Amino acid sequence: MAIEIIGTGKAVPPRRVTNDDLARTLDTGDEWIRSHTGIGARHIADERTACSDLALEAAKEALTGGDGREEAALEAAKTLDIIVLATATADYYGCPSTACVVQEKLGARQAAAMDVTAGCTGFIYALETAAGLLAISKTRKRALVIGSELLSRVANWEDRSTCVLFGDGAGAVVIEKTEAPQEGPGRRGLLRTILGADGSGAEHLIIRRGGTRNPFKAGETLELPVHLEMNGQAVYNFAVKAFTDTCTRLMEEDGLGIDDISLIIPHQANARIVQAAGKRLGIPEEKFFLNIEEYANTSSASIPIALDELNRGGRLKRGDLILTIAFGGGLTYGGNLILW
Ligand code: ACO
């Protein structure tokens, strides 16, 4: 039995905000943002758009190969057994899950649906959750895995040290349980996954308001902070170590060297994190796929967006070995070894 990715999709809002656009209202500039992060622009959703809207768009693409036919997507959705959606910026706080909103909009009536919260590692966690739910079942065959985020809604637009980093977007994959082997000759699909967490770093990336620890009180207005706070230096240090450790373990546990790997798809948080990890590992820059310049950090959406760009751009060939590596709020980290 193998778990294979059979479709990819993405959705980004049409409104593109460049560094120069931000510099009109914020004490920042293109030179600082590019040199410290590699970011050139981000896409920001309009007020009417919620997490599930981007998720739905990406899901439809993943279900149909992007042919744009609504009926084909809805027809394909009927074959789904599970929907797992990773997000830190859900439509609603707590209940219902955004996955349930997407399930209803897709008409995927036979699919179970749930959200996963693991910060920017969310997609890796969601993929492993969905794969596990397929693997242990005799009847479930196909799952939709989505990462969708509207980080613009939780960014503090007056804090230049955080807001310049984030963007909105969604990415999705359809995975299927197939007869191909997972080990040995002819193996395919999702070969190996690492998941990890270090809750001692919870405070380094945190939205303090609105939960049961610090609920809204009667009379409060939403102008009070509901923002994402970040200890940039602590996250940076954690990220570089988590990145190098996960990359090394994924290769070592499978007896692989860097020459066996076609491409590494990192979470697009900061190009400098990728460069620092690459340097430590002695991996040349061209092994890493980066699209952070266009989308900034879209948290759990960044890896499935990258997968879709590569897939649609014809850059993933059957037999390619791919590493995905992510790290983020929680703190969490993880990665996959995938044979395309
Ligand atoms: N424009 C101009 N100047 C700025 C900006 C900005 N947008 N932001 C900060 N500065 C200034 C600071 O005020 C500071 O000025 P000072 O020296 O006069 O005090 C100076 O730049 C340096 O600030 P630092 O915070 O030390 O900058 P640093 O080089 O550490 O870079 C950064 C900051 C980019 C946030 C870095 O710490 C980082 O990348 N951390 C990891 C962040 C990350 O990856 N987060 C997401 C991961 S998890 C997830 O994806 C949700």
**Residue ranges of domains in the chain, CATH in brackets:** 2-178 (3.40.47.10), 189-339 (3.40.47.10)
Is 267 a known active-site residue?
yes
| 51, 100, 120, 247: the active-site residue | 120
Output the CA 194–ligand 1 centroid distance in Å.
28
Output the CA 162–ligand 1 centroid distance in Å.
7
pLDDT of residue 68: 63
pLDDT of residue 45: 98
Across residues 53-76, what is the average pLDDT?
89
pLDDT of residue 216: 83
335 and 323 in contact (C-beta within 8 Å)?
yes
Is 95 a known active-site residue?
no
| 270, 297, 311, 336: the active-site residue | 297
pLDDT digits (tens, 9 = 90+) for 7-50: 999 999 999 999 999 999 999 999 999 999 999 999 999 999 99
pLDDT of residue 71: 87
Is the confidence at residue 312, as pLDDT, over 70?
yes
Least reliable range by pLDDT among 55-59, 78-82, 206-210, 319-323: 206-210
Ligand 1 near 103 CB (within 6 A): no
Task: Enter the tokens of residue 121.
Answer: 């590692």
Across residues 193-203, what is the average pLDDT?
97
Place 217 in a pLDDT band, splitting at 50, 70 and 90. Answer: confident
Place 65 in a pLDDT band, splitting at 50, 70 and 90. Answer: confident
pLDDT of residue 199: 98
Report which ligand 1 atom has the smallest distance to the Cα of 88.
51
What's the mean per-residue pLDDT of the chain?
A: 95
Output the CA 116–ligand 1 centroid distance in Å.
28
pLDDT digits (tens, 9 = 90+) for 220-231: 776 656 899 999
Is 120 a known active-site residue?
yes
